[in-house]
Amino acid sequence: MPVVKLLCSTLGKATGLLTVVVVVIAVVLKYFDDPDPVKFTSMAEDVKTLEENFRRQNRSCFVLGASGETGRLVLQDLLERNIFSKITLIGRRQLTFEGKAYENLVQEVVDFEKLDDYAAAFQGHDVGYCCLGTTRAKAGADGFVRVDHDYVLKSAELAKAGGCTQFHLESSRGADKNSGFLYLKVKGQVEAEIEALGFDRYAIYRPGVLLVDRQESRPSEWVARKFLSAFSSVFSTSMAVPIQAVAKAMVSNTLLQPEQKTEILENKDITKLGKSAEK
């Protein structure tokens, strides 16, 4: 009997501790929740109708970062919807694809250290999607700034000069040019500097933790994604989002006509728009 009582006591304490942990996590997530989600035009109108109307405009686009996780899915969604008459991939190397869907892709190989020499690659596009980026762990502090700021900004400048009127930028939750953290500061700086270029339409996407099994993930990132993935399946959270939702949101938002020239879609906005595209 003493053993049974001890077991019951232990289980009771464990249950109590688990309850406290869950409550604390819920409070923390609520604290970090998106403060005032941006209001964007909903896709109440039939998606197929929006796609058909856009398709008739015979527009072209380019994708930066198509070799990355988000860029690859943006490209896939663009091909599936077939809303552009021409899709150009701009990157540092030629990419290899399998399947007829990729046959008509145009690929422009550029040297990001000498982008001015490749200005022609950015000419004649109506819409630009930028999913270009690296990590400090992979490229070092200087390398991170060079890719996520210098390459991204220069590409936007060349695109604007080449006639691009609509630019979609994948950024990060918490981006702030005044942040004391390098990652968030750089993201915030490039957001602001691209806005100053004056695109007719400029959309910034600030996803939280991207739920994807990235091959180059560090153990801590892998654990964080697995935890947030499990938690977000039960509770609504603004801290994580499936990477597929980000890609779908970027493409779906292209079809809409917001009232403002510049819009910022926080994590919850991305999730909502990404899900609406699946309906």
- Is 183 known to be catalytic? yes
Beta partners for 60?
86
Q: Please state, in angstroms and rounded to a whole number, the distance separating the CA atoms of residues 186 and 42.
A: 30
For the chain, how many helices (H) and strands (E)?
9, 9
> Choosing from 86, 154, 183, 268, which is the catalytic residue?
183
Using CA atoms, how far residue 172 sits from 3, 36, 76, 93, 267, in Å, is 52, 16, 22, 25, 9
> In this predicted model, what pLDDT tens digit does every residue of 215-250 receive, in sequence order?
444 455 555 555 555 545 444 456 799 999 999 999
pLDDT value at position 263?
97
Q: Please state, in angstroms and rounded to a whole number, the distance separating the CA atoms of residues 78 and 18.
A: 44
Identity of residue 266: E
**Predicted structure pTM score:** 0.80
Residue 157 near residue 195 (C-beta atoms within 8 A): no
Nearest Cα to Cα of residue 77 among 58, 41, 101: 101
Q: Please state, in angstroms and rounded to a whole number, the distance separating the CA atoms of residues 13 and 97.
A: 55
> Choosing from 129, 151, 160, 187, which is the catalytic residue?
187
Q: Is the pLDDT of residue 33 over 70?
A: no
Residue 251 near residue 84 (C-beta atoms within 8 A): no
- Is 187 known to be catalytic? yes
> In this predicted model, what pLDDT tens digit does every residue of 62-100 receive, in sequence order?
999 999 999 999 999 999 999 999 999 999 999 999 888
